[in-house]
Structure 1
Amino acid sequence: MPRKSAGLLLFREKTGELQVLLVHPGGPLWAKKDEGAWSIPKGEFEEGEDPLDAARREFEEETGFRAEGEPIPLEPLRQPGGKIIHAWAVRQDLDPSRIRSNTFRMEWPPKSGRQQEFPEVNRAAWF
């Protein structure tokens, strides 16, 4: 069974231009990577979990904000590795400098035996 993720694509209109909110993953593996690293806030969900509920949960965990607009379902996307992404567009404005992401722990540097904590998302921006 393919892995599945769910996420929200926030959008707004600013000076007559449509903009979307994307987030950049945190942690040392992404620290010097920018191009191709940005995505919508999303995460995997379990069998039986409602994908929209998972998308809202992931958005709040990764940004610290609640999604408030009416969700518009988007066509699911299959990534080259087989993972299926379920997404909803939501009209909402927020200040990306105010995000507060959840964190994760990992051994860093590798093979050091030292555990460090990093934000799952280290920044967000409107594109």
Structure 2
Amino acid sequence: MPVRTSSKIQSAGLLLFRRRDKHVQVLLGHPGGPFWSRKDQGAWTIPKGLIAPGESPRSTAQREFAEETGHCPAGQAIPLGSAKQPGGKVVQAWAIQDDWDPAHLQSNTFEMEWPPRSGRRQSFPEIDRASWFSVAEA
């Protein structure tokens, strides 16, 4: 059961950043699965997930990043605060400076019935790709 605060679902995530030619770039992931397969605009996000009971938000952020990318960033986590998503979920985020190559992405998977009402279950990666973006692009 996810952690709720004031009836709001809580999640936590990490935003990797790096410096390139005096500019900051941030790493975002694209959600996997058929719903997102042809959507890019507004789809990219930080790797994040629901906070489990007894788990700290910071630990959740680290765990979810590792599960969704296959990478465990090292470094000092900088608290970024929280943001409320349109659906009401509150996301707590931290930033870590790390120059990871998204070509090494190894995401965990989820299962769902696809196509709908087909009776067939298929597996899809939680994140199907990751990329570095300028702050303006992000």
Q: What TM-score do the two structures reach when normalised by structure 2?
A: 0.89
Structure-to-structure mapping, 1:1-127, within 5 angstroms? 1-127=7-133
3-state SS in 1 of match to 2:33: coil
Following superposition, the deviation at residue 81 of structure 1 comes to 2.1
Deviates more, 1:44-53 or 1:4-13: 44-53
Q: What do residues 12-40 of structure 1 show as CA deviations (whole Å, max 9, x unaligned)?
A: 00111100000000011100000000000
For structure 2, which runs of at least 5 residues remain unmatched after alignment?
A: 1-6, 134-138
Letter in 2 for 1:126: W
Q: CA RMSD in A?
A: 0.8
Letter in 2 for 1:110: P
Following superposition, the deviation at residue 80 of structure 1 comes to 2.4
| Structure 2: distance between partners of 1:89 and 1:64 | 17
For structure 1, which runs of at least 5 residues remain unmatched after alignment?
A: none
| Structure 1: distance between partners of 2:52 and 2:70 | 22
3-state SS in 2 of match to 1:124: strand
Q: What do residues 84-127 of structure 1 show as CA deviations (whole Å, max 9, x unaligned)?
A: 10000100011111110000111000000001111110000000
Q: What TM-score do the two structures reach when normalised by structure 1?
A: 0.97
Letter in 1 for 2:68: E
